[in-house]
Amino acid sequence: MEPVAGARTFATSGEAYDAFMGRYSRPLAAEFATFAGVADGDRALDVGCGPGALTTELVGRLGVADVAACDPSPPFVAACAERNPGVDVRPGSAEQLPFGDAAFDLALAQLVLHFVSDPPRAAAEMTRVARPGGTIAACVWDFGKEMRLLRTFWDAALSLDPDAPDEDRVLRFGRPGELSQWLADAGLGHIVEAELTVHTTYGGFDELWGGFEAGIGPAGSYCLALPTDHRGALRDALLERLGSPTGPFTLDAVARAAKGVR
């Protein structure tokens, strides 16, 4: 399999991912599966499964025999398989799905499209593995609006470094209409787009900051690459922008989701 550029920042353990992003992607998985229309008797594929937030949600709804998953990150494939015994979890990218034609009722990608190097090819592949009449659906964080964790992080980073690679500027698909266009360009019909909102509660600011220092995803990679004094200044700027919480606090996150029919 060819190396996938976006996958390199996800070479981390399932536990580290959970503390940073899995705490959002688990509740998002329930919202996304409902939005996609997962129903009894369906067979579903989780594309870019990570350690398995959506896979686990699908197993709860459909059973292990009717769920499959893939991801280019070896530790995530291992974590997803361990957490979902009996599920067919394979190494593989969205651009070259390791599954046969028309094998699924639904092909789903949660928080993945930002990192896919060839989105049209990913759409063609998700369409190929879905049966005629099957559903292709994806969701991504709305970085510009209310993914509060990442929006506040990048606002703090930009206040210290105007060239910081704000995910809202460098990643695609977070804006209204972009996911729908991606599906339309792949020739899908009956396209529907929605906003999905979830939230998570932190025990304190250090719990949140530890997620960035684990180096996961674009924000974590940026954080870890900073010189120590700059990283400390970023920590202080982020703390202030979050209102300097001294105890538990809750943050919202909004995802954009779209689905279409093959």
Which residues of the shown chain bind ligand SAM in the complex (CB under 6 A)? Answer: 4, 6-7, 10, 21-22, 25, 47-50, 53-54, 71-73, 76, 93-95, 110-112, 115-117, 217
DSSP assignment of 224-239: HHS-HHHHHHHHHHHH
DSSP letter at 22 equals: I
Question: What tokens appear for 198 in the block?
Answer: 């979830």
Give the residue with the Cβ less far from ligand SAM, 50 or 174.
50
Q: How far is the CB of 224 from ligand SAM (least distance, A)?
A: 17
Cβ at position 243, least distance to ligand SAM in Å:
26
Residue 121 CB, nearest approach to ligand SAM (Å): 9
Give the shortest CB-229-to-ligand SAM separation in angstroms: 29
d(CA 103, CA 150): 36
Distance of closest approach, residue 47 Cβ to ligand SAM, in angstroms:
6
Of 116, 67, 68, the residue nearest 93 (C-alpha): 116
**CB-wise, 13 or 117, nearer to ligand SAM?**
117
Tell me the backbone φ, ψ of residue 254, rounded to 5 degrees. Answer: -110, 130
Element (H, E) at 159: helix 148-160
Burial pattern 26-52, b for ≥16 Cβ within 10 A else e, equals: bbbbbbbbebbebeeebbbbbbbbbbb
User: Which residue type does 155 have?
Assistant: D
Cβ closest to ligand SAM, residue 83 vs residue 230 = 83
Taking the least distance from each CB to ligand SAM, the nearer of 72 and 174 is 72
- CB nearer to ligand SAM: give 77 or 238: 77
Which residue's C-beta sits nearest to ligand SAM? Answer: 50
**Letter for the amino acid at 226?**
L
Q: Nearest approach, Cβ of 89 to ligand SAM (angstroms)?
A: 12
Nearest CB to ligand SAM, comparing residues 110 and 152: 110
Tokens coding 124 = 């063609």
2/229 with CB nearer ligand SAM: 2
Minimal distance, residue 42 CB to ligand SAM, in Å: 18
Burial class of residue 189 in the structure, from the number of CB atoms within 10 Å of its CB (0-12 exposed, 13-18 middle, 19+ buried): exposed
Residue with tokens 């049209």: 120
